[in-house]
Structure 1
Amino acid sequence: MKPRSPPTILKFFTASLIAAMAIIAFHVTFSLRPDYYMPTEEQLVVVFHNATKAQNVKRSKVHWCFFRNHMFKPMNILKNEFGFTDEVDPQSGDSWDLIFGGYPHCGIHPTERFDWNMEYGLNAHLSQQGWENLQHHQVWFPCMGCSHSYCNKRELCYLTREIDPSSCYVLPQDQHRLLEAMGMNDTGSNTTQQLWVVKEDSPEKHLHVGKGVHFIKSPDELPSVEDQINGTYLVQPLVRHRMLSGDYKRRHELRMYVSVTSTRPLRAYAYTAGMVGRFANAAVDDANPLAPCSIDMHGARTQRKLGCDIQDEFSLTRPANQIFEKLNLSLSDQSSFSEKINLLLAKILLNAQPVIKNHIVNKGIAKSGATCFSFLRVDFAMTETLHPFIYEINEFPFANEKGHFGQIQEQAYRELFRMIGLDKRPMIASHRMKYEITNMGNWTPLVIDDVIYSRNILG
């Protein structure tokens, strides 16, 4: 007869006894030394881990806040490659290691599609329990505060104008400054040929795929004073892209993934090696510079609705270096541009820290020693002066891309999961930075422990 395995309670008792004996041995060993000191809490945690690693080798208990658009591909990677196969229900009292999918899908809102304010279901349950009471082995996706900072176009405007005041104007606060930039003369007419983009957004609106965006040529087309009172409008110059003549007199869009692995302190990385891009379906017509098919950079479905002639030769997503070659960029210019976008992103993320680090969820996670991480996508372009111009940072990018971009996305997820040690036993908070830095794969540091990364800050 096959012997039965000991019950779970006996396994736990045995592991606890081993850990206790190890800690006592730790004290006895060090007490015999003349320089004896009381071990720190972190040292005791390490002793406990070493003593019980046979009981706690791998995390596997997961709760999926399911929404296919935001998680199908990474969910399969976590299941098939990282062993998160034991599905649990935290609201029923089950212990858990990972909650993945995104907070809007963790609670069923009675009237809205998504629970953006975390008022229902699992969101409410975890808030009632207290985020500071999480366990150090638990991992929450994503880190919070993004929708009230750089993932909201209006708040992103505030952050970017701190770096470059001419990049963005918030209405109504910046109305006077905007009119000066638009070249208003004493007669009230516009003296420049610059085109402008008016965007509407707020943490409650969640506008995407070109919604809330329109183009203007003169101050007369700005939102009325009455409309501006709601505080949702911003204005940006329609930036002049790097272009060539002929077939490649086209606007473009570049995309790159960004990850956040800690908020207190901030650690963030860019998947620079996976930067991709595409050209507009139509070349720029100087006689009609706002023609939708030459200016809209959304996917083929949106383009078809606009009546565009889909030209895969230009509009298919491809590696950024192929875009740069078509723009006649030297390798030196390509490298310089990558450094510029990384630096700009690092500054934006640091500027957002007062909001991010003080979010109640992030504060609780940091206090508990648990982990959060985010997987973001930044959409941007190269200006004619070879500088990056950021359009949007997406909190929940579409997670099931196809073709080359899909391969890049899959590898970015996989390398992020490895970088934060989801395939390893849990680490205490003070060990995570060193582990990440030595397991980055193709991720490039942007900010390490609240400091903009340079090659010498890690010693």
Structure 2
Amino acid sequence: DESASTALRSSSPQYLGPRRTKAHICYSRLHAEIMAKVLHRDLGFTDVDATQTDDWDLIVGGYPHCGVGPRYEGNRYGWDWDMEYGLNRILNERGWENLMPHQVYHPCMGCAATYCNKRELCRILRDHVDPSYCYVLPDDLNRLKDAMSTDKSKVWVMKKDAANVHIHVGRGVSFFSSLDELPSEEELSNGMYLVQPWNEPFLGPGIFHRKSEMRAYVAITSVYPLRAYVHEEMSVVLAAKEYTNSSEAMVDRCMADTHSSTTGCESLISREAQRVLRNLQFMNRAIYFHDYAEAVGWSNEQIAGLIKETHETISKVVQVGHEALKSHHINRGIQSSGASCFSWMRVDIGITKDLKPFLFEFPEFFANYGTNTNAANTIRDLYKMIGLDQSPLPPEERSKFESQNLGGWQLLPNLDH
């Protein structure tokens, strides 16, 4: 009857048009290879040039890859951190509020001013998780001196970062154990330094007697309100060299650094270790989390506890940083237009000897080469969760659609909507 037909129409999705197929990819092999491959191969997207036409459905890597600016220390590629060049300049001139509701922009903006910048992540961890988690210099210099005088044998890790630089994959990191090794107060005043305590790492048996680091994936699909997810599929990466002690790790990057790009380290892996890792890893020294947990003998309770604390800490960080995203003018323009944005990020997490997570960084753009099947699985699930393989939906229907198409994603716990 007529009432039943009306009810059916009101409960059916109200699509905005045909399925999206046109993407402008600001191509950086370092940061966009998997994103592009999954779009082209799995979803059938074709490339368009959004500098020449408004007829596009998706922009990938718009910030900071869609414009080339000046090169300087920490920005050797000339990435457009201030959105002043190329396609970014054109979009600014067109007006973000004039986007079409079916259009999607990657990434959501504002992360560089908060947790995707290691110094700002340090502040959040210090203020909202544990005061001893991190020290922002020079603000916390006296507090750091007090901590160092309490335990004079402790090793500390110093890092450099800022909102408009790109210092990752182990660069800008040094180790020290004495106040004399700190930069001068004049150098510290440049606002780029932070310090974290060195935590003795979890060490597994046999070839797993190596420093390890978890990699988790986080997605943001809405800023107003915040919708943020963590993927169930994590990985663990291993240092090339077996661990002895913190003193040796200070001077041996092959023991302290888990990045596979650490030069000269691969030859230190024994043939036996290479054989075992070949059967487990999905790429160089990277293992799926649950395969690693089984190999080192963690119980189900230990696994659940580590995951729970990891997700809760990530959720706290994302919620504190939400204010920076809400206040960003590009996100506000996207919201008023009815269009959408999404972010796909990685979180790098140490595992202490007590099986506690320790957040290192929250890279907004990370290496995702085509061999990384772990990353490919998460971005494929993300594309499907936001409906890139479907006809586009209006803003009021997107949350429900996501909840019904999570794949491996799950809402961050204790999320304050």
Superposed displacement of residue 410, structure 1:
1.5
* SS of 2:362 mapped into structure 1: strand
TM-score normalised by the chain length of structure 2:
0.87
Superposed displacement of residue 328, structure 1:
3.0
CA offset digits 1:338-375 (Å, max 9, x no partner): 11111110000001011111111111111211110111
Write the letter of the residue equivalent to 2:38.
I
**Change in CA separation of 1:316 and 1:110 when aligned onto 2, cut-off 3 Å:** closer
Aligned residue in 1 for 2:74 = none
Aligned residue in 1 for 2:135 = 169
**Change in CA separation of 1:320 and 1:238 when aligned onto 2, cut-off 3 Å:** same
CA offset digits 1:122-146 (Å, max 9, x no partner): 1011111211221111100111111
**Change in CA separation of 1:117 and 1:447 when aligned onto 2, cut-off 3 Å:** farther
Superposed displacement of residue 337, structure 1:
0.9
Write the letter of the residue equivalent to 2:202.
R
Superposed displacement of residue 156, structure 1:
0.9
Moved more, 92-101 or 213-222: 92-101
Superposed displacement of residue 246, structure 1:
5.9
**Aligned 8 A contact 2:37 2:370 in 1:** no
Aligned residue in 2 for 1:130 = 95
Aligned residue in 2 for 1:268 = 228
Moved more, 309-318 or 341-350: 309-318
CA offset digits 1:37-91 (Å, max 9, x no partner): xxxxxx8xx99x56xx7xx221122212122222222212212322322x33333
**Change in CA separation of 1:347 and 1:144 when aligned onto 2, cut-off 3 Å:** same
* SS of 1:441 mapped into structure 2: coil
Aligned residue in 2 for 1:66 = 27
Superposed displacement of residue 448, structure 1:
8.3
Aligned residue in 1 for 2:281 = none
**Change in CA separation of 1:127 and 1:309 when aligned onto 2, cut-off 3 Å:** same
Does residue 217 (structure 1) correspond to residue 183 (structure 2)? The answer is no
Equivalent in 398, 403, 411 of residue 432 of structure 1: 398
Percent sequence identity over aligned pairs: 39
Equivalent in 67, 71, 84 of residue 119 of structure 1: 84
Aligned residue in 2 for 1:281 = 240
Aligned residue in 2 for 1:296 = 257
CA distance in 2, matches of 1:113, 1:173: 30
Aligned length: 393
Does residue 309 (structure 1) correspond to residue 268 (structure 2)? The answer is yes
Aligned residue in 1 for 2:55 = 95
Moved more, 110-119 or 209-218: 110-119
Does residue 377 (structure 1) correspond to residue 311 (structure 2)? The answer is no
Write the letter of the residue equivalent to 1:136.
P
Unaligned runs of 5+ in 2: 72-76, 278-283
Write the letter of the residue equivalent to 2:326.
K
* SS of 1:179 mapped into structure 2: helix
**Aligned 8 A contact 1:380 1:388 in 2:** yes
CA distance in 1, matches of 2:63, 2:415: 25
Aligned residue in 1 for 2:291 = 322
Aligned residue in 2 for 1:142 = 107
Unaligned runs of 5+ in 1: 1-25, 31-42, 185-190, 452-459
Superposed displacement of residue 247, structure 1:
4.8
**Aligned 8 A contact 2:241 2:254 in 1:** yes
Write the letter of the residue equivalent to 1:74.
M
**Change in CA separation of 1:253 and 1:110 when aligned onto 2, cut-off 3 Å:** closer
Does residue 75 (structure 1) correspond to residue 40 (structure 2)? The answer is no
The answer to which structure, 1 or 2, has the higher relative contact order (CA under 8 A, 6+ apart) is 2
**Structure having the higher Rg:** 1
Aligned residue in 2 for 1:160 = 125
TM-score normalised by the chain length of structure 1:
0.80
